[in-house]
Amino acid sequence: MSLVVIGTLAYDSIETPYDRRADALGGSAMYFSVAASNFGPVRLVGVVGDDFKKSDLDFLAGRGIDVSGVEVAKGKSFRWSGRYEADWNTRHTLDTQLNVFEHFDPKLPPACRDAEFVFLANAEPRIQMKALDQVTKARFVVADTMNLWIDIKKSDLLALLARVDGVVLNDEEARMLTGEKNLFRAAHKVLTYGPRYVILKKGEHGAFLIGADAHFSLPAYPVNAVVDPTGAGDCFAGGFMGYVASARNIEPRTLRRAMLYGTVTASFCVQGFSVEDIGKRTRTDVESRFNELLDITSL
């Protein structure tokens, strides 16, 4: 398994209608790597400040995540704080402090440059492109993005999409990127920008995989109680890419199974704050819930 992720590591302060956490481990690449580590080794590239706890890096390393690509810079780590409404779909960003991430210039160690499977976690497209420029043997590259970059860096994002195999979007982002109101027309328009596959996340309503040789949809795993949805999309991507990398092929059947693994991985994430739940899960836990979801979705 040869999988690398480039993105953010952060400390989050989160408020929900029922509880709150301050300075919880967060960041797109952190969530992704913890989720993907259930399937095999992951190499993580990012930057943290000198305030980042050694115990948190040790936690990641303890899950088989190679943190040699994590730069420790002078200053404070990326910090984000937000509040969720009772419907879980409404999130208010209270504060964002880029800190050392503002000047992040990704430098991939030699062991990361020959990775076959690459995930460009949500970041400015310029940063994602710099990371991609250093990869030499990639077979399958997937990128994530957000509405901010679609709004202010669309030309850079389109240049990136021309070079990747897949892109992860939610419904709002797909419509914003393409100008199409119909979600499936939007997805097919994204395919004309270059990616072979579009993964559409619909949160509690499931996810879709759309490509020339694949059209697949499935519901979300029914979780009894949501605690914190932060990082669920990143964990979905981690489960998806982790399984694909472990299978070492990108056949349509593999990608469809990967969608199920992404869904069940995300379901663990929302059961706890930060990585309180997903961080203690094993492949055995994932397989058990995978079989449950398979049973739910089978005729």
Give the pLDDT confidence score for residue 90 in this predicted structure. 85
Amino acid symbol at 196: R
Give the pLDDT confidence score for residue 298 in this predicted structure. 78
Domains annotated on the chain, with CATH: 3-297 (3.40.1190.20)
Confidence of residue 160 (pLDDT cuts 50, 70, 90): very high
* pTM, rounded to two decimals: 0.96
The average pLDDT across 264-291 equals: 96
Is 275 a residue whose pLDDT tops 70?
Answer: yes
Give the pLDDT confidence score for residue 73 in this predicted structure. 97
Please check whether residue 243 is in contact with residue 257, taking contact to mean a CB–CB distance below 8 angstroms. Answer: yes
Is 203 a residue whose pLDDT tops 80?
Answer: no
- 110-140 pLDDT, tens per residue? 989 999 999 999 999 999 999 999 999 999 9
Angle between helices 252-269 and 28-36 in degrees, nearest 10:
110
Q: Name the nearest CA neighbour of 33 among 277, 239, 199, 233.
A: 239
Lowest mean per-residue pLDDT among 71-75, 129-133, 211-215: 211-215
Give the pLDDT confidence score for residue 89 in this predicted structure. 78
Confidence of residue 214 (pLDDT cuts 50, 70, 90): confident
Q: How far is CA 170 from the centre of its chain?
A: 12
Give the pLDDT confidence score for residue 1 in this predicted structure. 57
Say how many CA atoms lie within 13 Å of 273 toward its Cβ.
Answer: 18
Q: Name the nearest CA neighbour of 257 among 214, 212, 195, 222.
A: 214
Is 64 a residue whose pLDDT tops 60?
Answer: yes
Locate 247 and state its tokens: 């299978």
User: What is the chain's mean pLDDT, rounded?
Assistant: 94
As a whole number of angstroms, the distance between CA 272 and CA 9 comes to 18
Is 273 a residue whose pLDDT tops 90?
Answer: yes
Give the pLDDT confidence score for residue 86 in this predicted structure. 87
Locate 72 and state its tokens: 């420790």
